[in-house]
């Protein structure tokens, strides 16, 4: 195991960039340097990195000979080849880009390749071959389970198996693209038969996405002590859910059309290397909980496997937008509330011999907290619709209305290091198509 939680000079809090807006930037100081795919006005899609309020065209830098090892992978319109690089090569590439943006002697050569971020279009960062969504936020699982099974909210397998389902990669979209309200079958508890129509219980889910780097051959599991080397980076993920469709369809095979209509991700890939300072010990399991089975147990993973990331959810209704109001924060909580580490879900995904490829995406599942101020979905906040949330306009929400916009944000932070962010993950709900 290479151990991508090793810090180096690129994490130095004293390092600054000659890009003025990078100093003190909430998301993209020079200590971050996430990768993405963007198009400048009138230009084609290419790979770049976010630095302050700007985007550096890495493809142009590579073409100009400003980047050595790994530069050829920056000439492609997706991040898949870059994600496939070995950890040491990725770390070297990060050092080279950090030097370009911190060394004043490089400003003259590099500055022509900068674009103002707000003038650019961001795309999906990779060609996503496959997508799995896990359910490892134990507080979300408990809160939801309690609504249906008050005396037994968690099923017996939960504390042994990182539960997940196979999602739909084709409907994943980058932040900013609107969501069309899905249609489907739903059946009210007191109805004799289902009806078909737009979902009336549309919800968001606060999650993190895990981008796969080096893949594995079919039939070849990934050992837990090697799993970190198969992670390329992280993003924010909103796995929208039609709760009324879900309740009717999920037995016996689990989520299907209630999930496959749209998932929103933040378009910047915060690299595993950038996250090195923000790895913390996995919280100890409560007394009486079973220990992970041996294939999921690793002392280094328990010592470094959790993420020091604070996640927030905001809602902006159409009425709030018209009134010029700021979005209302619905909840905030730490990613360390996950019951399983990201390495454990990677290992479990491959444990049956399932092959993964660079650019595949894994979702953590909804990240909630034990208390209401950290709940990660409206299903929890409104207690299944029984206790609607009050908005500053006097409106209430049990579930999402047309015109509502959900915004996810996150910041990674640790003592002695510069905080880094993920950029926004946002989308507005539009009416269903007739």
| Phi, psi angles (nearest 5°) of residue 277 | -75, -10
Residue 250 annotated in ligand binding: yes
Instruction: Give the closest residue to 133 by CA, choosing from 365, 303, 307, 297.
Output: 365
Tokens representing 57 are 């065209």
- Please tell me which residue in 140, 230, 262, 348 is annotated as part of the active site: 140
204 belongs to an annotated ligand binding site: no
Sign of CA dihedral 320, 321, 322, 325: positive
366 is in an annotated binding site: yes
Q: Which of 133, 136, 359 is nearest to 263 (CA)?
A: 133
Is 415 annotated as contributing to ligand binding? no
Q: Report the b/e string of 101-119 with b at 16+ CB within 10 A.
A: bbeeeeeeebeebbbebee
DSSP characters over 228-290: GGGEEEEEEEE--EEHHHHHHH-TTT--STTTTT-EEE-S-BEETTTTGGGEEPPPPPPTTPP
Q: Is 239 annotated as a binding residue?
A: yes
Instruction: Give the helix/strand (H/E) hosting 336.
Output: none
236 Cβ neighbours under 8 A, 6+ residues apart: 207, 208, 209, 265, 266, 311, 408, 409, 410, 422, 423, 424, 425
Reading the block at residue 199, the tokens are 């979902």
259 annotated ligand-binding residue: yes
Active site residue 140: yes
121 annotated to bind ligand: no
Question: Kind and range of the H or E element at 412?
Answer: strand 405-412
Q: How far apart are CA 264 and CA 167, in angstroms?
A: 13
Are 136 and 208 in contact by the 8 Å Cβ rule? The answer is no
Largest CA distance in the chain: 74
Contacts of 137 (CB under 8 A, 6+ apart): 207, 337, 338, 339, 364, 365, 366, 367, 368, 376
Q: Return d(Cα 276, Cα 304) in angstroms, integer.
A: 9
- Residue 246 marked as a ligand binder: yes
Per-position DSSP letters for 381-411, written without gaps between them: HTTTTTSPEEPTTS-EESSPPTT-EEEEEEE
The reply to whether 116 sits in an annotated binding site is no
In the annotated binding site for Mg(2+), the residues are 239, 259, 263
- Enumerate the known binding-site residues for Ca(2+): 133, 205, 207, 239
Name the binding residues for substrate.
Answer: 135, 149, 246, 250, 366
Active-site positions read 140
Binding residues: 133, 135, 149, 205, 207, 239, 246, 250, 259, 263, 366
């Amino acid at each position: 195991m290479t151990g991508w939680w090793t810090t180096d000079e690129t994490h130095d809090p004293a390092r600054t960039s000659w890009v003025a807006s990078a100093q003190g930037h909430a998301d993209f100081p020079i200590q971050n340097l996430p990768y993405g795919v963007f198009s400048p006005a009138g230009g084609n899609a290419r790979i770049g990195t976010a630095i302050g309020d700007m985007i550096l065209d890495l493809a142009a830098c590579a073409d100009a000979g400003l980047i050595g090892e790994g530069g050829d992978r920056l000439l492609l319109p997706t991040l898949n080849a870059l994600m496939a690089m070995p950890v040491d090569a990725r770390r070297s590439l990060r050092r080279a880009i950090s030097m370009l943006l911190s060394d004043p002697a490089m400003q003259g050569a590099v500055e022509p390749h900068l674009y103002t971020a707000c003038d650019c279009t961001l795309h999906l960062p990779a060609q996503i071959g496959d997508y799995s969504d896990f359910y490892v936020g134990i507080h979300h699982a408990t809160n939801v389970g309690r609504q249906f099974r008050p005396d037994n909210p968690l099923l017996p397998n939960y504390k042994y198996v990182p539960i997940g389902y196979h999602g739909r990669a084709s409907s994943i979209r980058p932040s900013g693209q609107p969501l069309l309200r899905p249609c489907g079958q739903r059946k009210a508890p007191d109805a004799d038969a289902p009806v078909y129509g737009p979902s009336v219980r549309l919800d968001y889910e606060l999650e993190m996405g895990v981008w796969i780097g080096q893949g594995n051959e079919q039939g070849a599991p990934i050992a837990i002590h090697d799993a970190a080397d198969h992670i390329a980076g992280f993003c924010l993920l909103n796995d929208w859910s039609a709760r009324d469709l879900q309740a009717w369809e999920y037995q016996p095979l689990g989520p299907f059309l209630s999930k496959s209509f749209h998932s929103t991700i933040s378009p910047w890939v915060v690299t595993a290397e950038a996250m090195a300072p923000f790895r913390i010990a996995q919280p100890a399991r409560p007394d009486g909980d079973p220990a992970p089975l041996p294939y999921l147990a690793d002392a280094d993973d328990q010592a470094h496997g959790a993420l020091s990331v604070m996640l927030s959810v905001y809602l902006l209704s159409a009425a709030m937008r018209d009134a010029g109001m700021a979005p209302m924060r619905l909840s905030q909580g730490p990613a360390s509330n996950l019951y399983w580490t990201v390495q454990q879900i990677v290992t479990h995904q491959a444990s049956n011999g399932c092959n993964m490829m660079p650019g595949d995406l894994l979702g953590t599942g909804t990240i909630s907290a034990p208390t209401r101020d950290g709940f990660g979905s409206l299903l929890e906040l409104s207690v299944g619709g029984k206790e609607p949330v009050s908005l500053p306009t006097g409106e209430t929400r049990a579930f999402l209305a047309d015109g509502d916009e959900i915004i996810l944000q996150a910041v990674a932070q640790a003592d002695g290091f510069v905080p880094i962010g993920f950029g926004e993950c946002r989308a507005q709900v539009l009416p269903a198509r007739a």
